[in-house]
Structure 1
Amino acid sequence: MRLHTRGILLTGAVTVGALWSALPAAAAAAPVAALVGDQPGEAGPDLLFLPNIDDDAGVCRERARALVEGAVDRESANDEAFWEKRAELEKEPDREKAEAEWAELVRTHRWEQNKTDRDLAACDDAADDVVNGGDDEADLGRFRTRAWAGAPASASGRLTVPAQDAGRIRLFVHRPDGSAPRGWEAIGPETRLTAQELRRGVELGVEGRDVVRDTARWDGRTRVTLTVTADGASSSAVLTLRQAPVLTQLNTASVQEVLRAGTDEGDTYAQAFVKELDAALPAGGVRRPSRALDTKGDTWAQDAFEPGYVSVPGRNGRPHGMRVLITSVNDDRRIATRTAFTELAGHDVAAVHIGHVPDVDENSSYDSMGNLETVPPSPGNPHGRVVIGGDGLAPGPSGPAPEMLAFLRAQGMQDPVSLDTSWLTIGHVDEFVQFLPAPGSRLGRRAVVADPQAGLALLREVRAKGHGADPLHGGLPELEWPYDGRIDQRSVDAFLADAQFTGTNERAAERIDADLAVLKAKTGLTGAEIVRVPALFTARSLDYAMLETEIRGMQDGPEKDAKQRQLEAMRDAVAEIPGTANGLVLNGGHYVAPKPYGPVVDGKDVFAEAVTAAFRGTGYQVSYVDDLISAHVGEGEIHCATNTLRDVFGPAARWWRER
């Protein structure tokens, strides 16, 4: 059998003559049992098709909003029942029984609370068997039967897919004179191609009904079999298909839109942050102000979802596809993630919910999407590699959810790399590393990395210049309660004399260097491609503050002493000065960093000066935005508080060229 893809000849397993050897001579000469793909030859031997999970029909958004609104009371009641049951289990004398019931309660509760998320994800263009307009039609993978002009009146054709794939894809036949919308009729078990259709050739379409989630269940490959019967004889032809993988977007792609959480009326700090952020965007080629999302009070837009995309060869030579927003499985982000369905999903934008059965003791922070970044392409990794923080990529409480890892690995293009982020209080990779486009460089990008040793060195220089008695945080605005207590206002000398502070930074530096060694080994990064920016970390996190408050309320004695030793032993890190590696990469060599509020010497912030110089060395200009109260005191920065939609359908979207 010979298959044609835009004039490129592909060879199947058998020839037309062999297929039709049992037919009468007149029939045997005709290439009748053939399926022909309709994609450029660069696509390879498979017909590539999309998971058709966007909402070109425009029917899901209002439904999503109603589902979310209707879930509030039910989920609140579920939470109340959950905590009541936990209180009961705490009184259970049989601890083994109580722990088993607690584990089951956690899993059951999460499943119940995610019912709305499953319902949200169930609405998309592939949820019905109708082609919902021209945009939906454009998302079909198209192929056809080759015309058999001499088909006898008895001829008929049947199209089938493997039984296990019947629920994964849907086939359509184009019958312009039929009653189906736009002439596309869903193919069912009883559908037959008529002799007349076989004579002229028939156009067919295919859509995926979901993304590939786990290769143990499905790897995205399937096949369509055309069986033609005429005058009592039958033969078949097969066309192999592959569903497009979901790829995460790259920081090196141009920004099209900046997203953020909405601000509450009267929140002057958040409103001031937005005003400064929006003022910085035009210089970086972003003409529209940042877009506010209704995240229901969740500040961290980055953590709610990771933007990705799917693409196939388009008829105009450009990739055709849709964005795919991969929502977080962190239950703390559950409400915020729903904005992907209620405000963003629609025409050429899909959202995906990945179900997760939680481990009782898991660190759910590892499942926030600020803990997922993508290293741009390098030799051997033409589509880049996903980077995830945790304590290894083994399933369980020490790393990301196994369902998320299975999903990422199932795409087969951006094999995840594990970085150790267990040394951080929050534990996200964006707290210390991200990537800049660097046109003309060896890899076309550089890594921006927080450098606590450089931060300590700056403090020692400040002290050597006679400014050790000055506050570490210079130029602070007037701080109201409780922020005056959240910003450590000790002097440079006091910080340098604090063994917990210096120890935290020395430990952070060691762990960052170890993570860089992993990136160098697995992504081709070299020292020449690393932009080190001075940083300072502290163990005085919100967890530290809560433990300190608890200790203050305790009576003197061994228990209080033990708690005090626990407090002094803390070394897990969070940014002391706003972390400039945790910023926003814009277009044309522009970067938005949080204002560091470092020591001021001769009227200049020494950290801002050093950061600006580090970026200037790689051709970047830095704009500083004050996120001290809007984000930093909540243990995040500008990158955490924003998200971006980038140009994902340029040349880099042609994943099929290198696979």
Structure 2
Amino acid sequence: MVHQRTLRLDYDKTTCAVYVVGSELIVNLNRTAPPSSTFFSVKCTPSVQYSINPPHQEASHLSPVPLIRNSTLIITMSGASQSENDNKLSVQYYKENKEVLGKAVLHLTAVEISLDVDADRDGIVEKNSPKKTSWKWGPNGHGAVLLVNCDCERIYSKKPDCEDNHISKVSDLKDMSLMVLRTKGPAKLPQGYKLSMHISQRDAESVRVFRSKSPGMATNILGTLFSVFITNYPLVLSHDTLSKEVPYLGGAEEINFYVEGLRFPDKDFDGLVTINLSLLEPISDNLPETPIFTDRVVFRVAPWIMTPNTLDPEDVFVCSTSDNYEFLKEMDNLVAESGYKLKVCHEYMNREDRWIQDEVEFGYIDSPHHSFPVVLDSPRDGALKDFPYNELLGPDFGYVTRDPQNEEVNSLESFGNLEVSPPVTVNGKEYPLGRILIGVAFPTTTTGRNMTKVIQDFLWAQKVQEPIALFSDWLCVGHVDEFMTFVPASDKKGFRLLLASPDAGYKLFRGLQKDGHGEAKQFEGLKDQKPVTVNEILSDENLQAENNYVQSCIDWNRDVLKRELGLDDDDVIDLPILFKMNKDDGYGAVAYYPDMVNMIVLGKNLGIPKPFGPRVNGCCALEAEMRSLMEGLGLKCTFIDDFASYHQLLGEVHCGSNVRRKPFDFKWWNLKL
């Protein structure tokens, strides 16, 4: 929409005004005409254009035109001025008999002013895009993208860059969004005029703006690695400075500004910020300037995005503890065979806290000009609490957390209780970045455990991976990764949902009994573990009742997942896993033998907890069943002994490992919301 400005012209007086190219000056002729005026005429220099509203039939307005109550003059100019007051327009007023009553003269200085961003998301800051003032989702959408500057350029005395109010390295600029002020006009603005950049108090909580002191610097700063003095990039706008004068350089010039996101979308922040640039006009020495033109741009802060098992790994993380040497060795072999990197969190950092899956969730942020991984730090804050900040935060590796403050933290805060599906389509609605899955208490209970509201609010506010609540409080630990996971598949669907299934477990054990293997033993060969025969398992009525309860809870989640992810029964694979009720560490279900669904997925290689199932013809029956189910998908099963170092501590392979994965190829701003 064209910017319009009301301008008052006084007869028998010369008015000087600054005109911004692309806008319109609106003059109400009747309001400022001499008394008894009934006609008027208009003259102007060639660079000035005007029209009269309502329009008149006269071919030229040099001849007197009837002046009526709502006669309006609309003034525009085609280009910037070379010098101050180099263009002119005059209006002459007449009596009924065409006698001249007075003349209003307007001297005009035209300037081009444009505050520009990458509104079409192609990595280029185009000039004066008509779409820069709003945001629209989708492949045909528009609007600039802003990253939260949550990585750290420092090696020592770490803290996220967004907590610094200065720029110490040019390399930090790539984490910010470029905004360009383009001006064209005379060498200087008329006396007293100035440009002011400003933001609202609300937006100042979410954004900061720096300026390059060197006009016309190259806009492509990627790969720049040298250090610069802080004074080369002064702070313009912040929480403490909502408005600041910015230079008008004269001629045709550009000034680069770098916009820094300070916080992610959340319950109280929709992710949208607006930055304004105003041309201010002096009134008198004793009065403040008034705005006569405002240009604005809109950014949306990039959301934090989780990555599902179907994306390729980049780094695999495992803790080294005093009792997990064999586990660590087997994991190292699996990761090396899969072609990925194993990163070990050593004992000085983990302090015997082995549950690295529970401490952090890896994700990323993305924009047209840059992207980097961001770790979400769980509020569980076990002995691993310093790991994400001290070991992960760094250049191009961001950090975010949420403080539960007065909320009670429980096991459901741990991020084994936070998963994400592969991309799905549900009733025609596409979720190209998948959907987040969290475990909560059963919907009808008021006493169960839940993930803290501050984390749930954060996840919902990202918008691009609409969360699904699953029922996980029936478990002792309470994490969704204890009964479900996803594995890749090479068919059109691209994945399968794996669910723990006591029914499938009992079916397998009954089959063994029927085939004459009732005396085959679960846990045989395990140190300090009493073997249990298939017959004993099947005759344990309490165990059967407990697994009936567990199957009912899993079936509830199965129905939710099928409905919310658009799945058919063919998309779900039931894994033979039994549970038991734990009465030692809080009432709830735990895996009876190592929980095979709690696996690590590394491309086509699966690292599965070794179940120590009944051996038939020299082979573990549970392992054989898993291979039969997975190898049909082209997946390779590697069974890892986690019994003593993880299973007996109520966790498994997935709980004791974590994977940073490659980002989606799909760009979140193309999502149809």
Correspondent of 1:295 among 340, 350, 355: 350
Q: Deviations over 1:36-87 (max 9, x none)?
A: 11363469432211110110233444xxxxxxxxxxxxxxxxxxxxxxxxxx
Match of residue 388 from structure 1 = 438
Residue matched to 1:64? none
**6, 25, 34: which is aligned to 2:114?**
34
- Write out aligned runs for 1:137-536 (5 A): 137-150=173-186, 152-154=188-190, 155-176=193-214, 181=230, 183-188=232-237, 189=241, 191-196=244-249, 199-214=252-267, 217-229=268-280, 234-264=292-322, 267=323, 270-288=324-342, 290=344, 292=346, 294-314=349-369, 320-330=370-380, 333-359=381-407, 364-379=410-425, 380=429, 381-392=431-442, 397-442=448-493, 444-474=494-524, 476-477=525-526, 479=527, 484=528, 487-536=529-578
Q: Greater CA radius of gyration, 1 or 2? A: 2
Label 1:353 to 1:43 Cα distance change in 2 as closer, same or farther (>3 A): farther
Equivalent AA in structure 2 for residue 309 of structure 1: Y
- Partners of 1:329 and 1:19 in 2: CA distance: 55
Distance 1:184 1:488 in 2: 69
Matched residue type, 1:17: G
- Give the superposition deviation at 1:441: 2.2
C-alpha displacement of 1:335: 3.3
Structure 1 position 604 matched with structure 2 position 650: no
Structure 1 equivalent of residue 23 of structure 2: 18
Distance 1:497 1:24, change over 3 A: closer
**Distance change in 2, residues 1:426/1:586 (3 Å):** same
SS of equivalent to 2:532: coil
Aligned residue number for residue 651 of structure 1: 665
TM-score, normalised with respect to structure 2? 0.74
Quick check: 2:118–2:143 contact (8 Å CA) kept in 1? Answer: no
CA contact (8 A) 2:476 2:589 kept: yes
- Code of the residue aligned with 2:365 in structure 1: it is V
* Greater strand proportion: 2
Supply the distance in 2 between the matched residues of 1:409 and 1:369 (Cα, whole angstroms).
Answer: 16
Q: 1:223 to 1:334 in 2, by over 3 A?
A: same
Residue 45 of structure 1 pairs with residue 142 of structure 2: yes
Offset at residue 151 of structure 1 (A): 6.2
Distance 1:152 1:634 in 2: 73
Aligned to 2:167: 131
Identify which range, 515-524 or 151-160, moves more after superposition: 151-160
CA shift, 1:201, in A, is 2.3
CA distance in structure 2 between the partners assigned to 1:641 and 1:184 by the alignment: 44
Q: Secondary structure at the match of 2:611?
A: coil
Q: CA deviation at 1:186?
A: 0.9
Distance 1:52 1:504 in 2: 49
Partner of 2:97: none
- Look up the match of 1:575: 591
Q: Per the alignment, do residues 502 and 250 of structure 1 end up closer, same or farther by CA in structure 2, a change over 3 Å counting? A: same
Structure-2 change in CA distance of 1:132 and 1:656 (3 Å): farther
Deviations 1:378-433 (A, max 9, x none): 12222211111121579985311011111111111112111111221111100111
SS across alignment from 1:387: strand
Give distance in 2, aligned partners of 1:617 and 1:52: 44
Residues 352, 383 of structure 2: 8 Å contact kept: no
Structure-2 separation of matches of 1:574 and 1:349: 35
Q: Deviations over 1:325-372 (max 9, x none)?
A: 111123xx3432321001111111122221113556x7x111110001
1:30 to partner: Cα distance: 5.7
Distance 1:540 1:129, change over 3 A: closer
Per-residue CA deviation, residues 296-329 of structure 1 (Å, 9 max, x unaligned), is 2111110001112111112xxxxx2222211112
Residues 211 and 46 (structure 1), Cα distance of their counterparts in 2 relative to 1, 3 Å cut:
same
CA change 1:131–1:357 in 2 (3 A) is: closer
CA distance in 1, matches of 2:25, 2:230: 35
Q: Percent identity?
A: 26
**Partner secondary structure for residue 640 of structure 1:** coil
What's the C-alpha RMSD, in Å, of the aligned pairs?
2.8
Distance 1:245 1:36 in 2: 22
Alpha-carbon distance in 2 for matches of 1:377, 1:31: 50
Alpha carbons of structure 1 residues 456 and 312: separation in structure 2 relative to 1, 3 Å: same
Aligned to 2:270, the other structure's residue is in SS state: coil
Instruction: Look up the equivalent residue of 2:233 and give its one-letter code.
Output: W
| Secondary structure, aligned partner of 2:638 | strand
Q: Specify the SS of the correspondent of 1:639.
A: coil
| Cα pair distance change 1:38/1:646, threshold 3 Å | same
Equivalent residues of 1:383, 1:655 under 8 A apart:
no
- 2:520·2:616 contact (CA, 8 Å) conserved in 1? no
Q: Deviation per CA, 1:414-470, whole angstroms, max 9, x where unpaired?
A: 12111111221111100111112223322x221121121111111112222333233
Residues 603-625 of structure 1: CA deviation (Å, up to 9, x unaligned): 11000000011001211111111
Q: Aligned partners of 1:286, 1:578: CA distance in 2, in Å?
A: 25
Residue 343 of structure 1 aligns with an amino acid whose one-letter code is E
Any idea what the Cα deviations from partners look like across 1:546-572, whole Å, max 9, x if unmatched?
xxxxxxxxxxxxxxxxxxxxxxxx7x3
Q: Which amino acid in structure 2 is aligned with residue 36 of structure 1?
A: D
Question: Does 2:94 correspond to 1:56?
Answer: no
Number of equivalent positions: 535
Task: Supply the distance in 1 between the matched residues of 2:251 and 2:197 (Cα, whole angstroms).
Answer: 12
Whose helix proportion is higher, 1 or 2? Answer: 1
**SS of aligned partner of 1:280:** helix
Whether the 8 Å contact between 1:152 and 1:230 is mirrored in structure 2 is no
Relative contact order (alpha carbons < 8 A, sep ≥ 6): 1 or 2 greater? 1
Q: Distance in 1 between matches of 2:295 and 2:465?
A: 33
Deviation of 1:31 after TM superposition, in Å, equals 6.7
1:18: how far off? 3.1
Shift in CA distance, 459/502, structure 1 to aligned 2, threshold 3 Å: same
Contact 2:317 2:658 in 1 (8 A): yes
Alignment partners' CA distance in 2, 1:33 and 1:255? 47
